[in-house]
Structure 1
Amino acid sequence: MSAEDTAQRPGTDAPAAPRAERPAPASRRQVLKVVLVDVGLPYLVYLGLSVAVGLSDVFALAAAGGVSAAQVVVTYLRHRTVSALSVLILTRFILGVVAGLITGDARIVLVKDSVITGSVGVVAAVSLLLPRPMTYYIRRDFAGDRTSWDRALACSRRFRQVHHTTTMVWAAGLTAEALLRILIAFQLPVSVAAVLSPSLAAGSVLGLIAWTQWYGARTQESVAQELDNAAVRRGT
């Protein structure tokens, strides 16, 4: 136990209750990097090439996927780790290229993006059965300190509940996005749907990130309290 943990409270003879190690807070710089570079840049490349330049959907997806892949490689070479969200975005682009090569119908190309999104939603739902659900990896990447997060997950039931809740929201949100994009593909003109559909995809991911960060901050105190209580029990 550290000196801080055993220090006496002013005016008392009893030592202060031990404080457990908290999961490291999210780095604002890391969150901005993920939002602007990992998510925003590939989608901007895709929209720029497909809408502004007029390249085919497959070429635009391949270029955006190349940007995403380069980010994953650079991050791995620098830090020997990869961002879960970067891999998720890269997977969506790769599957989009494969699906685009199979069919040339514009509406089907739009729908296949929705199917890919829905599949990611299913993956999120399935991850609820695992010890570490999908959003745990995403939020841990924002913090950058894996050790403190792994310890908190092992010691705090509340911490585990938080990530089950956020993962359920991601599963529901991605599934809802997929259904809405299918509706857009068949109900709106192709020229409108081609712009609106990828914009909705980027917006939904950014919205889910924002909500996840808000919910994590809202529940931070209850997680910290449970970790402190566990530390007290271990010290008695």
Structure 2
Amino acid sequence: MIRVLIVDDEALVRTGLRMILEAADDIEVVAEAGNGAEAVAAVARHRPHVVLMDVQMPGMDGVTALQEINRSPNPPKVVMLTTFDRDEHIYGALRARAAGFLLKDTAPRDLIAAVRTTDDGSAVLSPTVTKRIVDTFADQHSPDTRAAGKRLAALTERERQVARAVARGLANAEIARELGMTETTVKAHISRSLTKLGLTNRVQIALLVRDAG
């Protein structure tokens, strides 16, 4: 059973998420929290496997809570819920190594699938979300182009081709068709690239590619 903590300052949102998740036989909502401080305490008390947490909350926001949670022993995977209207929070969550991002209007079926995927250890980042994040932050910081390029030089040419496709927001199936490889091979290239670059998700790869120009 996948143990889930829901964190959002709106009770109606928490109730809706609970109803969706508890319709799945393999998911149990073990607790709810209304702000970041409550979330940190609930993680210690209930030991969830996955946390769904709003980025924007009064008091301790989601990014600060994520940082606190990641300092705990054996921290759960934290997926940030967002509407993308406060972009600086998303960038902070990326740097704090969020396990993924979901839009608040994610379909129920996709929400359940995302929780399962996160529990399995994979990042929840749809190509659409990846592209939106990259496009949003492309002009919000001054990249060190030379340093980014040097990091990408650690990749093989094929891995760099895949990385560039990821930065364009292409799904694995689209990358496979464009580069003439299987989806399994695309996933393998991405996985190896993450390891070589010391990154945790495809959004970070995309941002690095954009930084490198």
TM-score, normalisation: structure 1: 0.25
Give the structure with the higher percent strand: 2
Higher gyration radius (CA): 1
TM-score, normalisation: structure 2: 0.27
Give the structure with the higher percent helix: 1
User: Could you say which structure has the greater relative contact order, defined with CA pairs below 8 angstroms and 6 or more residues apart?
Assistant: 1
